[in-house]
Amino acid sequence: MTDTREMLDASPVGVPLGADEVAAAIDACLTCVQACISCANSDLAEADVEEMRTCMAIDQNCADVCDVTARVLSRPAHSDDFVVHRLLQACVRLCTACAEECHKHAHHHRHCAICEKACLACVYACNALLDAEAFGELQKLAGG
């Protein structure tokens, strides 16, 4: 059991979206935050720094959205499913874009390959949570 899961289990209100899925998404988001911050920092040190501008920008945006997503998911008491749903969608969108951008540089920048992997894992974990039954009604209301 991860520390994240243990902390969620300790919540007096429980985790309405499913503790395993929420813990996995939090952990994936936090791993992605670290990978994106490190990747952006490494981009700055590369000889081809001019070519890395887009990667740096997306890394930073992805890190910020993953950070806020992890923070909100870590607060199950008084959670707003609509907000959580939209944050997860934003996280998936940015992690997908970041993975695609890092993929362009992964063959010659190892940090981009690592970041791409972390982003894809985050997409997977957030999509698994989005597929949870608790979001079924929101999906219907959103038309998808």
Domain ranges of the chain: 3-8+19-142
For residue 79, pLDDT over 90 is answered with no
The pLDDT tens digits for 119-130 are 999 999 999 999
Which residue has better confidence, 133 or 39?
A: 39
Indicate the average pLDDT of the chain: 91
End-to-end, the C-alpha distance of the chain in Å comes to 33
For residue 65, pLDDT over 90 is answered with yes
The pLDDT tens digits for 1-46 are 789 989 888 888 877 778 899 999 999 999 999 999 999 999 999 9
For residue 75, pLDDT over 80 is answered with yes
Q: Tell me the C-alpha to C-alpha distance, in Å, between residue 12 and each of 5, 18, 76, 88, 142.
A: 14, 14, 9, 24, 31
- Into which CATH architecture does domain 3-8+19-142 fall? Up-down Bundle (1.20)
Distance CA 95, CA 124 (A): 10
Tell me what the mean pLDDT of segment 82-97 comes to. Answer: 96
Distance CA 66, CA 98 (A): 12
Q: What is the pLDDT of residue 32?
A: 98
